[in-house]
Structure 1
Amino acid sequence: MTSANHTPQSRYPAGSAAFPHRDLTGLAGLAPWELLFLLDEAEQWVELNRQPQKRSEKLAGLTIINAFFENSTRTLLSFEIAGKRLGADVVNMLVAQSSVKKGETLIDTAMTLNAMHADAMVIRHQSSGAVRLIADKVDCPVLNAGDGQHEHPTQGLLDALTIRNFMTERGAKGDFGGLTVTICGDILHSRVARSNVHCLTTLGADVRVCAPPALMPAEVDAMKVTPFHDFDAALKGADVVMMLRLQQERMSGQFIPSPREYRHLYGLTLDRLAKAKPDALIMHPGPMNRGVEIDSNVADLAGRSAITSQVEMGVAIRMACLDVLTRRTRKVEGWA
């Protein structure tokens, strides 16, 4: 499937008006056509990544810094692969090697990075709002690779791209209107959930969020979603079921009785999945806790599980975001 299938000229303005922002620090507040533009831009990179030769020179000569103040495996690797496949010079700065460990402030770190004249920065940080703070202090585009409990915008976009491609492959139009998406798990601590909610509701999907009372955010009524505490009820008629892990590292105190009890009430089993639509898509952003929030026979269900596809779409989305945000630097026509 290519972007031509989505008639982009009828979906968003031409040139830089399609995505006028210098940075991508979150999906909240973005217009539907801005989200669609990024999804459509990613399609060309999906195709490239499936070819024997997976390299473009669009970003040749540019330097991208991946500054990860919080540990990551799949997100860092995905951004590194994305930058290198676009021909950029990619430098990874990991928290263990950072002067922040020696007491340097985040502002001082931002100013140091800025003095190196990078052409784009990808930032991951354990504190909500830290990426925006850095973006305000540097002269190049900044992409948020996850900040605290705030947002993880490229994850929201790659999940939307995964959903759209699966629906198109099944003969649907690829539109989000009329889709029912159930997101279940640790909603309170999940930046992935927040970015998915912002993205999918903006594109017209009906989003349900399900969690134990202690893991449901207090602001859920303002999130344009339907909240559930009963997972069976939340699954009824769902087109997409997205499971989230328990983020123990962000918890202080007892949020659930035990992993065993949690699985009994909120784990996705084959019997429970049967309450959703017969062809409902199964998703998980990873890492998975098999046997807790999702059983292995569900996570690996052929023709239904999109978990490995999410990883594939992640590289394409991150390539698209790096390409789009550096177009002014590269003086691409219409992006001056």
Structure 2
Amino acid sequence: MVEAKLGTGQHLLGLRGMSAEEITSILDRAAYWENYPEKVAKVLNGKFVANLFFENSTRTRTSFEIAEKRLGTEVINFSAAESSVQKGESIYDTVRTVESMGIDAAVIRLKPIGLLAEMANKIKVPLINAGDGNNEHPTQALLDLYTMRKHFGHIKGLTVSIVGDIQHSRVARSNLWALQAMGAQVRLCAPENMRAKELEAFAPYVTIEEALRSDVVMMLRVQLERHDQGMIRSAEEYRAQYGMTVERAAKMAPHAIIMHPAPVNRNVEIDDELVEHPKSHIFAQMSHGVPIRMAVVERALHN
């Protein structure tokens, strides 16, 4: 197996502005780890990584923890619900405190946009973005690109349509920046009140019918609580207008695939019988999260 070239001690705050070469190096290293013959490599023995989640996400945190342990690191899991943040301590003070205890890197998920970049200028250890507000979710996009490349053999030239609540989606943004850097054509599809107007300069909004004429149709999770805020009238209406129904899936090209960052609201974004359909790569995406995060953590701690 060929080892990809990695940078040294780098933050991963987002994918906007990252070069195709750097993205490719992460994808290549993830392929190395996916095919690694042993469960635990211990290449980062003696390193301490803190998972600091100021916003809940069991899937992402578990994926990072498995990746870290497979690399041989010592893992410290931190939940904001159990911390002094609930008592008024700032997120920065908490991260700075954990840094002072001797960690070597931190994986951070938080709601405030821009705070992670500010902290990166003050915190001396590498920081990895596990999702910040509706800004970016870089490791999710990297595992999405990895899934596409593994299936098609390439990313350049693919047409990818991202469907759903674009306005509130960090997944959509990270995918947009990374896919365009890699030479893919990105199209967005969303109800009028779920569009991010600032992204129109980078990718066109298309109808659901146009979105189906893509190599990849990526459905986004709809937060059903937005029904209470009046953004969607009902789950049934959203499915009828923007969901991946059996009828819509039948209109896709034979080679095209369906993706979703999960968790899935079955029979809302995607009909139940399509979740594990041959066209669906949802569970493949999930399986790729660990090797991608192994590559990202190793990149942060590589000497």
TM-score range, shorter chain: over 0.9
Secondary structure at 2:129's aligned position in 1?
Answer: strand
Q: Select 2:48's aligned residue among 44, 58, 63.
A: 63
Q: Select 2:289's aligned residue among 310, 314, 319.
A: 314
1:156 aligns to 2:134 (yes or no): no
1:184 aligns to 2:163 (yes or no): yes
Q: State how 1:206-217 maps to structure 2 within 5 Å.
A: 206-217=185-196
Q: State how 1:82-161 maps to structure 2 within 5 Å.
A: 82-161=67-146
Moved more, 54-63 or 136-145: 136-145
* Residue type at the aligned position of 2:253: K
CA contact (8 A) 1:110 1:137 kept: no
CA contact (8 A) 2:50 2:76 kept: yes
1:227 aligns to 2:212 (yes or no): no
CA contact (8 A) 2:159 2:184 kept: yes
Greater RCO, 1 or 2 (C-alpha within 8 Å, sep 6+): 2
Post-superposition offset of 1:130: 2.6
- TM-score, normalised by the number of residues in structure 2: 0.95
Q: State how 1:186-265 maps to structure 2 within 5 Å.
A: 186-222=165-201, 224-228=202-206, 230-236=207-213, 238-248=214-224, 253-265=229-241
Q: Deviations over 1:183-236 (max 9, x none)?
A: 1011110001111111111101111110000001011222x22212x2112212
Post-superposition offset of 1:3: 5.6
Post-superposition offset of 1:155: 0.4
* Residue type at the aligned position of 1:310: Q
* Residue type at the aligned position of 2:237: E
Give the distance between the partners of 1:135 and 1:42, measured in 2 at CA.
24
Secondary structure at 2:186's aligned position in 1?
Answer: strand
Inter-CA distance 114–21: structure 2 relative to 1 (3 Å threshold): closer
Post-superposition offset of 1:95: 1.3
Runs of 5+ unmatched residues, structure 1: 9-14, 168-173, 329-336
Inter-CA distance 119–21: structure 2 relative to 1 (3 Å threshold): closer
Partner of 2:12: 24
Alpha carbon RMSD of aligned pairs, Å?
Answer: 1.8
Inter-CA distance 99–245: structure 2 relative to 1 (3 Å threshold): same
- TM-score, normalised by the number of residues in structure 1: 0.86
Runs of 5+ unmatched residues, structure 2: none
